[in-house]
Amino acid sequence: MTSRRRIEAVRDALAPLGPRGVVIVPACDEALWLPRFLASLARLDATPDVALLVCANNCRDASAEIARSWRGRLPLAGPVVVESSVRPPNVGHVRVEAAQGALAAGATWLAFLDADGEVVDADFLRCAADLVAADPDGCFSGPSDEFADARRALHAAADTSGVHLGSAADRLLAFGSEFRCRALPRAVPLVRYTDGSNTLVTARAYAACGGFAPKRVGGDSTLGDRHLAHSGRLPGFFDRPVHTSCRKPFAMGRPGGFVFYPADQTALPSVRRDASARDLGALTLPRVFDVVCEDLRALLLCALRKRRRFLRRLGESPATLAAAVAGACDDFQREAGAPVRIEAAGETLKMLHRDGSLHRSFALDQRSVERFWQTGK
């Protein structure tokens, strides 16, 4: 089947429903995760003018059948299931073709989620619809919380992981979730990037900027880059995080933990379908502290790399970014009593644990940015 035929198949499947919004979910062998994802959608507030499109691509398992079994059980139209084969498998191509088909069917806005995610806020779709209605030229970045899924697995394996509900390590992971996914993108727009696991965009904005790139890796973040280049605006913030599984087959191109972490770092393990409690290992407070620091460091270095021209145009610098991050943590501390504090000194950030036992500094200068981008270290 050609690309044009796949786009037409999506258009023809959605057109009879006449949805204003379409939630697009690529699925390649997601039979393990789809039931959890679909069950989370079943708990959402009813949004009848939104349709769910599951693009079952190159599936060798029962992903398509599982999705079809939820018809009539969700508070939105569908799922509409379109099966196809893009060879070699390419999730970027799937998203691009699905978006084009949905727009051809008359959708006025699109949401992109992943089949291994979980939507946790009941008003997720209602807030999404309100947000795009208020800004017809808008593109919005919604955060994906990997820490939340790791915490769930660690709590289930508390005897072996050492991370119990309310423990110091657990509180630090909770800070990682809230600061990374809510406080920071609210306060520091520079760190917002579009991710296929949680992104909103209006039809007008998608068409105007050119949408996603049909790339196997990283094509989703190009939507935000293209939106910025076209409109001069960074993506807006959609304050409804999704919990996404932290199963990552590669970290910086090598087997590892979370996507940002090099394999030789003592990061949290991947929580994959073959993970067991023993695989998680014992997580001490210093190890978790390193994970949270590494996550923040990598996010900021990635943002500095991707937004270099934008920063230069604004006359901003890494030192400005460091100060903004420290200020966001101060605000978070006043609101929620964070277990850490963050201090800025020029282009260097320092994170300190509240009990004074742990601290770590990391530079945001250009050499650090380039080294991270080239080596992951």
Q: Over the stretch 25-66, which tens digit does the pLDDT of each residue have?
A: 999 889 988 999 999 999 999 998 999 999 999 899 999 999
- Cβ(175)–Cβ(205) below 8 Å: no
Alpha-carbon distance of 294 to 262, in angstroms, equals 10
Query: Is residue 175 located within the same domain as residue 205?
Result: no
Does 141 fall in a domain? no
- Evaluated on CA atoms 332, 227, 293, 158, the torsion sign reads positive
Does 139 fall in a domain? no
- Cβ(278)–Cβ(284) below 8 Å: no
pLDDT in tens, 178-223: 999 999 999 999 999 999 999 999 999 999 999 999 887 778 899 9
Does 216 fall in a domain? yes
Does 142 fall in a domain? no
Query: Is residue 96 located within the same domain as residue 17?
Result: yes
Query: Is residue 73 located within the same domain as residue 174?
Result: no
The kind and range of the H/E element at 223 are helix 221-231
Query: Is residue 297 located within the same domain as residue 311?
Result: yes
* DSSP string of 286-329, one letter each residue: HHHHHHHHHHHHHHHHHHHHHTHHHHHHHT--HHHHHHHHHHHH
For residue 322, give the nearest of 364, 275, 370, 270 by alpha carbon. 364
pLDDT in tens, 103-162: 999 999 999 999 989 999 999 999 999 999 999 999 999 999 888 877 887 787 787 778
Query: Is residue 295 located within the same domain as residue 361?
Result: yes
Give the total number of structural domains in the chain. 2
CA distances from 158 to 155, 173, 243 (A): 5, 14, 20
Percent of the chain past pLDDT 90, that is, above it, reads 60
Q: What is the CATH number of the domain that holds 227?
A: 3.90.550.10
Given 201, 233, 265, which residue is the final one in a domain? 233
Given 233, 263, 291, which residue is the final one in a domain? 233
Does 140 fall in a domain? no
Query: Is residue 181 located within the same domain as residue 325?
Result: yes
Query: Is residue 84 located within the same domain as residue 156?
Result: no
List the domain range (segments joined by +) for residue 212: 3-134+193-233
Query: Is residue 184 located within the same domain as residue 200?
Result: no
